[in-house]
Structure 1
Amino acid sequence: MADKNHFPGIDTIKFGENISIIQKRSTFENISVLEVYDKAIDVFRDYYQYEVIQGADRQKIEKIPEAAFREAIANALIHRVWDVDSQIRVSMFDERLEIVSPGGLPSGITEEEYLSGKLSVLRNRNLANVFYRLGFVEIFGTGITRIKQLYAEGLIKPDFEISENAIKIVLPIFEKSADLTEDEIVIYKLLSKTILKPISEIAPYAPFGKSKTAKLLKEMCQKGVITVKGNGKGTKYIIR
């Protein structure tokens, strides 16, 4: 908690179209964990929030719910393993944000219990108490549940990956469901908002054949969810 210390912090990276393109990188370390938390939120706002002017009013638009990011980054700081010399990594993409924190689950809790919020085991109790008293987190053990609730109406849900030495939370861009079927949602996840994709780059990753993939793409176009560019073998698809 000291203003100056030797502990690792958070490494934030904004990628371009792929991980070979790094647009900006900022590392916050050797400072108060509260300052690290604040700086991470500032970076998040730079990339995932903007304002729309409507007459005399300004409306803030959140591409990813800030409350979900706050919960995820607080969870990473509170539950990380501090004796491992590794930064919490925040990777920012156009369509998602990933947070990877060092250290798997504390002993005494299963993956199912962690994801369902049935049980909470505090690895850093003092830090958790500080975050709670400052209002950065609500009730101990509810972070993952709150993130899920914030995406209850979202087309694509957050993803949680747990391994022996790390926990990864993926927050997708928030978009409300457009009455897509389960099969259409599968196709939607394979598409991009920034890169045009031909069916040859979509069908191999779908759990059904090329003809059904083409049919689903056509139906999604009719629903106004995706746009078609070109024709014939040059036909490509992109999310609107």
Structure 2
Amino acid sequence: MVIRETSSIEYKELISPSFLKTVSAYANYGTGRILFGVNDEGAQVGVDDPIAASLRIENMINDSLDPVPRYTIDADPSTGVVTLTVYEGQDKPYRSKGKAYRRNDSATIEVDRLEYGRLVLEGSNLSYDRLTSAQQDLTFDLLQQKMIEGVGIDALSPDILRTLGLLGRDGYTNAAAILADHNDFPGIDMVRFGDTEDIMRDRETVTGVSALEQMDRALAVYDRYYAYEKIEGTQRRRLERIPAEAFREAMANALVHRTWDVRAHVQVAMYDSRVVITSPGSLPPGLDTEQYLYGQISVLRNPVLAEVFLKLDYIERFGTGIARIRRAYQGSLSQPTFDVRGEVVTVTLPVVDAFEGTEAERRVAMALRSGRVLSRAALEGETGLSRAQTLAALEALLEKRLLVKLGDGRSTRYARA
């Protein structure tokens, strides 16, 4: 089977200087391999004298890359294929002829000024929110009020601002500006849709104000549409169509982990059956999709901002946001979904027990509630579906990532994701 070129694999039939751009891309954005002596179709054609070719590749990297990344070269005399593995480094940006590159699927392209600046920050072990802000005429009335109420300070003094990382040697940081009462940063755009996206029943855009106010305004809109009170006897009970804990965590994560150097709002799309929160910026460097979805690893894009949100109890602990959102839906037929694609991260929070699918899919999903793990045969017995109907429902639910498949062959079992 031919493996096509990907973001982490590139084929080169011949050795030419163009491969140096890909070396820069892998060193900057993630470990990858370049296979010399393999054509564009993935067929091994070999190079003349693989040992001499290896030496040539080594010399070209050492002469052209600044700084020189860590790499290994493996020559296979039997096939004539030379494999160059380039490892992601810490001394970013890695430049080829003064330019830095990244992979875009199977292509290598030069980074723009914004991405180059981020590489410089990462290589210096700095974050955007720690940099000195261009805005220095800032006030912090809301932050001070919340710190007095939540932390118990008497006033937001310069010493406390320094301790929080909001005041540096050269003035207020970007984190301070993001938390200031008024600023030039983007905000959140909340839209309540009707039956279709052509019908907008309500819209509220919050921008140029503290991220704390953005958070509070989003929570107020949530309460307006997805929480209500019901009187039962002599008691008043709060009911939530979407778990408040899940919305709060997803919204806080969207603000804390977004890229603030991009002029785009956090998008909050509200429907009768779900809320979709889209945050600008892909995952932070050092965090892959699997770690984001299932791990406890916390890589903070904006550590100063995150620390303030933590102190004010907007978030509970670093690295537990996805787990808390999932936990809020425990026992519910509907489950949240998470999508990392391109330069955005999207979290979809469905209304509790809302379900979009066929009746067969609904029966199978119901049978697997509360942590149950069942075989296909057991599901047939519980749902009353035929073998073909059960298999079709399982396939659809797996594709929607609502189920996971455990084991193989006769030992295959299914569980809720």
TM-score of the two chains, using structure 2 as the length reference: 0.43
Query: For structure 1, which segment, 48-57 or 4-13, has the greater mean C-alpha deviation from structure 2 after superposition?
Result: 48-57
Which residue is 1:65 aligned to?
243
Aligned 8 A contact 1:159 1:171 in 2 = yes
Alignment of 1:82-121 (within 5 A): 82-121=260-299
- 1:34-74 deviations in Å (ceiling 9; x for gaps): 01100000001100011111222111110000000000000
- 1:125-155 deviations in Å (ceiling 9; x for gaps): 0110001001111110100111011112110
What secondary structure is seen at the aligned counterpart in 2 of 1:18? coil
- 1:59-92 deviations in Å (ceiling 9; x for gaps): 1110000000000000000100001100000000
Give unpaired runs (5+ residues) of structure 2.
1-178, 366-387, 394-417
Q: Aligned-pair RMSD on alpha carbons? A: 2.6
Q: Which runs of 4+ in 1 moved over 4 A?
A: none
Aligned 8 A contact 2:337 2:347 in 1 = yes
Alignment of 1:159-174 (within 5 A): 159-174=337-352
Equivalent residue for 2:253, pick from 75, 86, 90 = 75
- 1:145-181 deviations in Å (ceiling 9; x for gaps): 110111121101100010120000000011299xxx9
- 1:185 is aligned to 2:185: no
- Equivalent-residue separation in structure 1 for 2:309 and 2:248 (angstroms): 11
Cα–Cα, structure 1 residues 3 and 159, in superposed 2: closer, same or farther, change >3 Å?
A: same
Shift of residue 20 of structure 1?
0.6
- 1:27 is aligned to 2:243: no
The one-letter code of the counterpart of 1:184 is E
Shift of residue 187 of structure 1?
9.2
The one-letter code of the counterpart of 2:206 is F
Equivalent residue for 1:153, pick from 316, 325, 331 = 331
What secondary structure is seen at the aligned counterpart in 2 of 1:8? coil
- 1:46 is aligned to 2:224: yes
Identify which of structures 1 and 2 has the higher relative contact order when contacts are C-alpha pairs closer than 8 Å and 6+ apart: 1
- Equivalent-residue separation in structure 2 for 1:182 and 1:72 (angstroms): 30
Cα–Cα, structure 1 residues 167 and 67, in superposed 2: closer, same or farther, change >3 Å?
A: same
The one-letter code of the counterpart of 1:117 is G
Cα–Cα, structure 1 residues 212 and 117, in superposed 2: closer, same or farther, change >3 Å?
A: closer
- 1:129 is aligned to 2:307: yes
- Equivalent-residue separation in structure 2 for 1:17 and 1:176 (angstroms): 16
What secondary structure is seen at the aligned counterpart in 1 of 2:213? helix
Cα–Cα, structure 1 residues 18 and 186, in superposed 2: closer, same or farther, change >3 Å?
A: farther
- Equivalent-residue separation in structure 1 for 2:197 and 2:288 (angstroms): 32
- Equivalent-residue separation in structure 1 for 2:242 and 2:208 (angstroms): 28
- 1:14 is aligned to 2:216: no
What secondary structure is seen at the aligned counterpart in 1 of 2:216? helix
Which residue is 1:205 aligned to?
none
The one-letter code of the counterpart of 2:199 is I
- Equivalent-residue separation in structure 1 for 2:233 and 2:182 (angstroms): 46
- Equivalent-residue separation in structure 2 for 1:111 and 1:186 (angstroms): 30
- Equivalent-residue separation in structure 2 for 1:182 and 1:168 (angstroms): 27
Give the percent of matched residue pairs that are identical in Structure 1 and Structure 2.
46
Aligned 8 A contact 2:273 2:354 in 1 = no
- 1:177-202 deviations in Å (ceiling 9; x for gaps): 9xxx99432899xxxxxxxxxxxxxx
Give unpaired runs (5+ residues) of structure 1.
189-210, 217-240
- Equivalent-residue separation in structure 1 for 2:349 and 2:331 (angstroms): 14
Aligned 8 A contact 2:360 2:389 in 1 = no
Aligned residues: 191
